[in-house]
Amino acid sequence: MMNGTWKVDARDGKLAMAHIYVAFVALALGGLAGLLQVLVRSGKFELPAGISYYTILTTHGVLLGLVLTTFFIIGFQFAAVSRTAGTLSDRVRFWGWVGFWLMTIGTAITAFYILIGEASVLYTFYAPLQAHAGFYIGLTLVVVGSWISGFAMFAHYAKWKKAHPGQVSPLLTFMSVVNMILWLICSLGVAATVLFQFIPWSLGYVDRINVLVSRTLFWYFGHPLVYFWLLPAYMIWYAIIPKIIGGKMFSDSLARMSFILFLILSIPVGFHHQLVEPGIDPVWKYLQVVLTFMVVIPSLMTAFSMFATFEMYGRSKGATGLFGWLRKLPWGDARFFAPFVGMLFFIPAGAGGLVNASHQLNQVVHNTIWVTGHFHLTLATTVVLTFFGAAYWLIPHLTGRVMTKAMNRLAIIQTIVWSIGMIFMSSAMHFAGLLGAPRRSAFSTYGDAPQALEWIPYQIAQAVGGTILFIGIILVLIIVTNLAFFAPKGETEFPVAEVAEQAERTPLVFENWTLWIGIAVVLILIAYTVPFIDMIQNAPPGSKGFKLW
């Protein structure tokens, strides 16, 4: 049934690698920006030559939050659909390259305006701070490029379905399609605000902007964005890790069901980023809080599936006792170790997320550096370590090389370095946030206020952690460069797990896209229609643009 090619076609590999190169260049530059930020916030270091902290901060957010993630994800997914649903057609590959170049050119334009200081508006670009129009136009190209790549993947999937009527599609292809549908639906929000509000306003065609509408459209996009980052990590956990450890997938249907639940439940939830803002009735905030928490269900399913896979494998190797199976796992294999550590970090990360999204508790931590600590666990540890773990087999697979034992050992060390750095940095951020330290702020003692002086030691700890993390970035860049250009030639497997024998046949209902997209749209309409109309009907006078940096 699974008759996809075992090796990704070289031409498809080139397309995937192009994305991955950009992703790791973004990691290098964005990581450097991060290092400068933690140093500034320690209070012991000032940026030279009048460089603004906020320019660096914008660079860090755009490069790591938007560029690293989107490029790695699209590159990985092109490789995954090519591996599991067969070599891309020339047309699909052509549009993949169009998408790649649009995203790359867009990134370059946006980066240019950030670096010349015309766009220190952070990656959330809240109006009425007004960047140069080029910043918004560049971002638009990134999004449009990603859409084109998404449609290229849909076309590839449709071709597979046509050639295999009545069959369940390969899991990794199915998951890539879900992730791109999610991305498409949510990025309509940011596209709407950028095209209809920010670009005309920054070009001077209109004078004023409706701030609350722009923020609401942004957060309609902003939360599913984090699931767009997370789902590829889940793809690796569900469909690849079991193969790496030598086991089988626990259940194909449950994996698909959890992806469909993420598709439905991760969009109508943006208000939990807007809990403490005016102009939105708290009833609607609460409704979206409830919807936000529904993603706990697929998250619990994922946790169960992963550990069930691990335990089944361990026991098949003769493990006994309650936790004996843990000892059978391949701890020395970086392809397993890095994502596994990522999974462990997801436990405190998820718990912190529950706090953030709680209707009332949010007020305690909103816009404090606690939140930064939170998403350095989710994105910068769980997701990123999983991506690193995937790069350790994906890059040599695509470049026709093999990872040496020495590089594998370095990758294990990299994971440990990353964990230590993150424990320092993220814990310090969480504690300082509870004391009240704000996020997104340069060093300040607020007039030597005793309350502010209390959290300065934590900022020193952040700098220690951030510096260790930067060493982690250097290590991963060494490994990636080695795998791409210097590792010995050879064959590396693109691991794809098979389903355990006792698992049931997967029903076709998961590919009833009209049904699932329909439910997603209905939930979005329920969650947003009334408050959105309220915002427009009761809108205050709009805002002119400000350039305050």
Partner 1 sequence: MHMHKYEKIWLFFGIGSLFVFLAVLGVGAFAQGTQPPSCLTTIDPEKVDQTPPFDKPGLVKTGDNEYQLNIVASAFAYTPNQVEIPKGAKVTINVATKDVIHGFQIVGTNVNMMVEPGYVSSYTQTFDKVGEYVILCNEYCGAGHHLMTSKVKVVEQ
Which residues are identified as catalytic?
A: 223, 227, 374-376, 439-440
Q: Which is nearer to partner 1, 167 or 363 (CB)?
A: 363
Spell out the SS3 assignment of 93-139: HHHHHHHHHHHHHHHHHHHHHHHCCCCCCCCCCCCCECCCHHHHHHH
Q: How far apart are CA 436 and CA 92, in angstroms?
A: 50
Helix, strand, coil percentages, rounded to 5, for the chain: 75, 0, 25
At 43, list the tokens. Answer: 């209070």
CB of 536 to partner 1, least distance (A): 12
Identity of residue 405: K
Nearest 5°: the CA angle 466, 20, 139 is 80
What's the Cα-to-Cα distance from 378 to each of 277, 348, 373, 486, rounded to whole Å? 24, 9, 9, 32
Q: Which is nearer to partner 1, 115 or 435 (CB)?
A: 435
Q: How far apart are CA 243 and CA 290, in angstroms?
A: 36
CB of 45 to partner 1, least distance (A): 15
Q: Which is nearer to partner 1, 454 or 491 (CB)?
A: 454
Nearest CA-CA partner of 36 in 49, 19, 24: 49
Q: Which is nearer to partner 1, 88 or 171 (CB)?
A: 171
Residues in the chain: 549
- Inter-residue contact 410 to 478 (CB < 8 Å): yes
49: left (phi over 0), alpha (psi -120 to 50) or beta: left
CB of 276 to partner 1, least distance (A): 5
- Inter-residue contact 345 to 336 (CB < 8 Å): no
CB of 232 to partner 1, least distance (A): 24
In this structure, how many other beta carbons lie within 10 angstroms of the beta carbon of residue 535?
Answer: 18
Q: Which is nearer to partner 1, 148 or 303 (CB)?
A: 303
- The helix or strand, by DSSP H or E, that contains position 485, with its residue range, turns out to be none
Q: How far apart are CA 544 and CA 478, in angstroms?
A: 47
Q: How far apart are CA 523 and CA 290, in angstroms?
A: 12
CB of 446 to partner 1, least distance (A): 5
- Inter-residue contact 520 to 267 (CB < 8 Å): yes
Nearest CA-CA partner of 142 in 104, 177, 111, 189: 104
Q: Which is nearer to partner 1, 1 or 548 (CB)?
A: 548
Q: How far apart are CA 465 and CA 424, in angstroms?
A: 5
CB of 270 to partner 1, least distance (A): 14
CB of 316 to partner 1, least distance (A): 16
At 249, list the tokens. Answer: 């997938």
CB of 469 to partner 1, least distance (A): 22
Residue 120 has, within 13 A of its CA and on its CB side, a CA count of: 15
- Inter-residue contact 249 to 239 (CB < 8 Å): yes
At 29, list the tokens. Answer: 């530059």
Among the residues of 240-333, which ranges form H helices? 241-245, 252-265, 282-293, 296-316
Identity of residue 351: A
Q: Which is nearer to partner 1, 194 or 289 (CB)?
A: 289
CB of 548 to partner 1, least distance (A): 3
Q: How far apart are CA 184 and CA 147, in angstroms?
A: 7
CB of 197 to partner 1, least distance (A): 14
CB of 499 to partner 1, least distance (A): 13
Q: Which is nearer to partner 1, 360 or 514 (CB)?
A: 360
Bridge partners for 546 per DSSP: 129
Q: Which is nearer to partner 1, 227 or 228 (CB)?
A: 227
Q: Which is nearer to partner 1, 203 or 361 (CB)?
A: 361
Q: Which is nearer to partner 1, 42 or 149 (CB)?
A: 42
**CB within 8 Å of 404: residues ≥ 6 apart:** 482, 487, 488
